[in-house]
Every structure is written in structure tokens, then in C-alpha cells.
Amino acid sequence: MSIDTTTDPSAETFVPKSDFIRVMQERGYIHQCTDLTALDTAAAAGPITAYVGYDCTADSLHIGHLISIMMLRWFQKTGHRPIVLMGGGTTKVGDPTDKDQQRPLLTDAVINTNLASIKRTFSAFMTFGETGQDAIMVNNADWLEKLGYIEFLRDYGVHFTVNRMLSFDSVKLRLEREQPLSFLEFNYMLMQATDYLELHRRHNCILQMGGSDQWGNIINGVELVRRVAQKPAFGLTTPLLTTSSGQKMGKTLGGAVWLNAERLSPYDYWQMWRNTEDADVGRFLKLFTELPLDEIARLEALGGAEINEAKKVLANAATTLLHGPEAAATAAAAAVAAFEHGRLSEDLPTVEIAAGDLSAMTNTALMVAAGFASSNGDARRQIAGGAFRINGVKVADANALVEISGSEAELRKGNARKRLVVS
RNA sequence: GGGGGAAUGUCCCGAGUGGCAAAGGGGGCGGACUGUAAAUCCGCUGGCGUACGCCUUCGUAGGUUCGAGUCCUACUUCCCCCA
């Protein structure tokens, strides 16, 4: 059985009938689809069910997951039922896609902790429940862990040829890079395909979505459902999220852009969007906000410094979706006060130093305490390069004691990173 | 089964004659310039110490040597040739 692939569907050549596909197309969510026309027809005929799977390798999702979360959100908004699949079982195997080597195997305890932590993010984007188009959340550990080996091989393994498996990028890449690929990892794509079939049986799920890197894994699931269940099944992937200058997105603040507030404060999340490159503003507004398209067109047409207004709209809208309107407003207010009025803002992320300790600290130690440097050496180098400012004044001597007159001050690293220190 | 190569700074690629904290890129961070943008130019990019310095790094484990990324042995993984 072969898969019809629609690559890069352009608005000129295809006019969707369903709201879902129309929105996906207009807003730039679609990279590849197994059969866009048929999927559109199905979505136009009535509510359908789709899923996206998420690993439990960390205790928070990051910005790379956000496109697919937005897709699920639109999917629900346009009248369909989304399934969030937590990879409690597949995480035990580990997806080899885009990885040079096998990662350390996570324990059950860690996986379960991560799973519980990740769950919370989704409720901000979707309505969960038991009826109609309410989203549901399932864990593939529920069925994968019960599989017996022989049974698995006979029921599912028989549908996959090694010849074909070797042709998938996730496998090919590892072989080309001369890195070992364990048999454990080699099985990952079968696990994911099994998920699709299981969700098809349990919930009549006919669509799996994900990032473009998941294309191979998704195809396997589509084929398995078609073959075993003899029913239509579709796959839809989104483009990889990069900035216009070709870089991986989310490095603006030095680390990964986490979605959990404990990992990355709403203020820093807001800042990340605020610092979007000019050329990305329109694209990001379409993908990460729900502003009407004509409004987006107006915003992205702003020239010169005026486009900063569009970036603020983007930051407000995106932060509101994830952290809620209050957190977004607070972050925006802190940024305006700190950057545009040069005032000390109580709403900046705060570093607390015990009373008395602050004046006994070196500038180096303060930089480390503020999270601006990863080690003392790093802090010294940063200060030598003129990166550190207290209340706007450049700190010159890394070894000198901190000079702060009041009980609080604004710390700044580089152009855009600000913290409030209180003692 | 036999023979020949390869694994380098835990982000990636990649030089490396026995004296190496280890060339050079990319990426990242910072400075200048700007609009909290991009492009451009410049600096930094193992840990601890104020500093002479000390400690930890070159697939894994041993060994030779005053001294080993560099030589020897075994192991792991990958590539090529022969069977």
C-alpha cells in the first residue's frame, strides 16, 4: 500500500472545504499531509478525532511543542475532538529521531513525574472532558506495557519489513553518522505505529499530527491502520520552527524555552516573543496567536521601529494563551517600565538575597546568584566584557563588593536580560 | 573469520609532531552600532582561586614514560577491503 503525499500545499492550488484545513492552510501549519483532499473531505463531513503524541523525557514541554499544541487547539475550535497522547510507554524505549546516540533510559518514577508535570500545560489550550469534542488525554503505557513479545511480533511485527524501516531518516541518519542504533530504539517506530492503531480502535482516531521530523513515524502508523483496520487514516505534519536567520528557535534567552512557569517565568516567555526577529513577526502571529489574519497583515506590514508594536502584540497574545491574561499583563507592564521608562519594576523576575549578605557579596557572586552566569569564571569573563550593569551602571571590577545603596536594584546582563535583586 | 582505518574540548563539525587546557570553523554569550530586530565589526566560550597556580577533560579499562590526545595491550562502537 502506498501513501499519497501532499507536500507544501499552496493556497492557490487547493481550496479546503473544512474549517480545520482552511485554518491550517491559511496560518501556515501544514508541511506535509498524506492526503490533504481526502482529509479535508472527512473533516468537512463531521467531527473527526486526531492525536498528537508527546514524550515524557523532561518535566516540561518547550517551545518546539507549541505548534502542535496550537494545532490541537484549532482542531477542537473547528469542531473536532483532540487526543493528547502521553508517551509514558514509548519514552521507555526512546525515539531515535534526530538523535546521535541513545539517551540514558529513564526510570518509571522519573517518567511519571514528568508526565504529571507536562499534563498541566495542555489544560491552558484545550477543554478536557468526557463528551462531544472535549479533548481527552491518554497514556500509551496503558496498552504498550501489556504487550507480550511474541504476540507483539505476530500481530504487528509482521506488517513491517526491515527493508523499509532502514529507509526511514531516523534510522538512515544514525547509520550514516556511524553511530550505533540499538535494537531497542529500532523498535520505536513500531511502538508509535501501534499507538495509532490502538487509538483508532478505541476512539476512531483517523489523524495523527506532529512536527515534520515525525513524518516517518507517522507514516508507519498510517500504513498500519490502513492495513490492519482497513480504514482510511491520515497524517499531517507542521514545518520545523526556525527563525528567519535559519536558527533553531528559542535560544534567545540562553537556554531552552520551557512552557512551565517554574522553568521559565512568564516575564522571560514574554521577552522571548518580544525579541522576535522582524522577518518572523507575521509568521509567528499566525502560528502562535489567534488574531484575525487581516489584523496580522496590518501588523506585519509595519516598518522600521514601528514593528516593535507588533512584537508586543505577539508577546501579549502568546503569553496570554499559555500563562493567562494577568501574567501577560504583568510581564508587559514590567517590560514597559524597565525598558521604555527606565524605571525599576517590581514585576521583574526577582532574586532574593538574605539581608546583610548583599553588601558582603562580590559582583561575581551576584551575577551567579542572579542566574546570569553559570560559574564564577563565566561571571568574571562576562564582567570583563562589560556585560553586567547594576541600576544601569556598568560594573567594572569583578572582585569588588557589590555597591547597592537601597534594598533593591535592577540587574542587567547584556541588552535585554533584567532582574530585580532585593535583600 | 582475516586485514586496514576511525572515535578529540559532554552543542555540532574538525586540526593535532610525546610537553596541550589542546589550531580552526559553526553555534552560543558579550561589546560597538540599532529599534529590547537583522546585517556588520570586535571580544569571550572547562572548573576552582585575586594571582604564580591547582584540578578535570581527547570512546572504555589497563600499561610504557619524568611526562601521553599523541606509543603499547585488551575491550566497545563505526567504516573500508578480503573470505
Q: Whole-model pTM?
A: 0.89
Nucleotide nearest to A340 (CA to C1'): B36
Distance CA A122, CA A51 (A): 13
| Backbone φ, ψ for residue A49 (5° rounding) | -120, 135
Per-residue pLDDT tens over the stretch A302-358 = 988 899 999 999 999 999 999 999 999 999 999 998 888 877 778 888 988 887 788
Residue A163, pLDDT score: 82
> How far does the CA of A96 sit from the C1' of B4, in Å?
31
Catalytic residue among A6, A41, A57, A133: A57
pLDDT for residue A402 is more than 80: yes
Per-residue pLDDT tens over the stretch A259-303 = 988 888 899 999 999 988 888 899 999 999 999 999 999 999 998
Nucleotide nearest to A310 (CA to C1'): B37
CB A71 within 8 A of CB A33: no
Residues within 7 Å (Cβ) of strand B = A 100, 175, 177-180, 245, 247, 251-254, 271, 274-278, 304-305, 307-308, 311, 335-336, 338-340, 374-378, 380-382, 385-387, 399, 413-417
Top pLDDT among A40 and A61 is at A40
Residues 6+ apart with CB under 8 A from A47: A79, A80, A81, A132, A133
pLDDT for residue A19 is more than 50: yes
Instruction: Report percent pLDDT > 70 for chain A.
Output: 90
Handedness of CA A305, A307, A313, A315 (dihedral sign): negative
Catalytic residue among A22, A62, A380, A389: A62
The angle formed by the CA atoms of residues A35, A38 and A41, to the nearest 5 degrees, is 145
A79: left (phi over 0), alpha (psi -120 to 50) or beta: left
Residue A38, pLDDT score: 95
A51-60, A105-114, A414-423: the lowest-pLDDT one: A105-114
> How far does the CA of A143 sit from the C1' of B40, in Å?
56
> How far does the CA of A336 sit from the C1' of B53, in Å?
48
Catalytic residue among A192, A194, A214, A330: A192
Residue A4, pLDDT score: 46
| Backbone φ, ψ for residue A298 (5° rounding) | -65, -45
Residue A254, pLDDT score: 52
Top pLDDT among A308 and A403 is at A308
For residue A231, give the C-alpha cell.
480504514
| pLDDT band at A177; cut points 50, 70, 90 | low
Catalytic residue among A146, A177, A248, A381: A248
Q: Which of A373, A369, A389 is nearest to A381 (CA)?
A: A373
Residue A249, pLDDT score: 56
Name the amino acid, one letter, at A325.
P
- The position carrying cell 508587559 is A332
Strand B bases, protein C-beta under 7 A: 12-13, 27-39, 43-51, 77-79
| pLDDT band at A178; cut points 50, 70, 90 | low
CB A9 within 8 A of CB A22: no
Known active-site residue A248: yes
Task: Please report, in angstroms and rounded to a whole number, the separation of the first and last CA atoms in chain A.
Answer: 68
Instruction: Report percent pLDDT > 90 for chain A.
Output: 52
Residue A9, pLDDT score: 47
Residue A205, pLDDT score: 97
Residue A25, pLDDT score: 94
For residue A359, give the C-alpha cell.
553588601
Residue A167, pLDDT score: 79
Average pLDDT, chain A: 87
Catalytic residue among A252, A271, A276, A320: A252
Known active-site residue A172: no
| pLDDT band at A388; cut points 50, 70, 90 | very high
> How far does the CA of A303 sit from the C1' of B73, in Å?
68
Residue A255, pLDDT score: 62
Distance CA A184, CA A102 (A): 9
**How confident is the model over A418-423, as a mean pLDDT?**
90
| pLDDT band at A176; cut points 50, 70, 90 | low
| Crossing angle of helices A169-176 and A215-229, rounded to 10° | 140
Question: In Å, how far from its chain's centre is CA A230?
Answer: 33
Distance CA A353, CA A409 (A): 12
> How far does the CA of A349 sit from the C1' of B1, in Å?
65
Residue A34, pLDDT score: 94
Closest amino acid to nucleotide B43 (CA–C1'):
A385
Number of other residues whose CB lies within 10 A of the CB of residue A390? 17
Known active-site residue A92: no
**How confident is the model over A167-176, as a mean pLDDT?**
73
Catalytic residue among A164, A251, A298, A343: A251
For residue A347, give the C-alpha cell.
514585576
For residue A412, give the C-alpha cell.
542587567
> How far does the CA of A220 sit from the C1' of B73, in Å?
47
Top pLDDT among A97 and A155 is at A155
Known active-site residue A192: yes
Closest amino acid to nucleotide B11 (CA–C1'):
A255
Residue A103, pLDDT score: 67
Top pLDDT among A15 and A184 is at A15
**How confident is the model over A162-181, as a mean pLDDT?**
74
Highest mean pLDDT among A109-118, A122-131, A176-185: A122-131
Alpha-carbon distances, residue A255 vs A2, A127, A272, A287 (angstroms):
41, 30, 11, 22
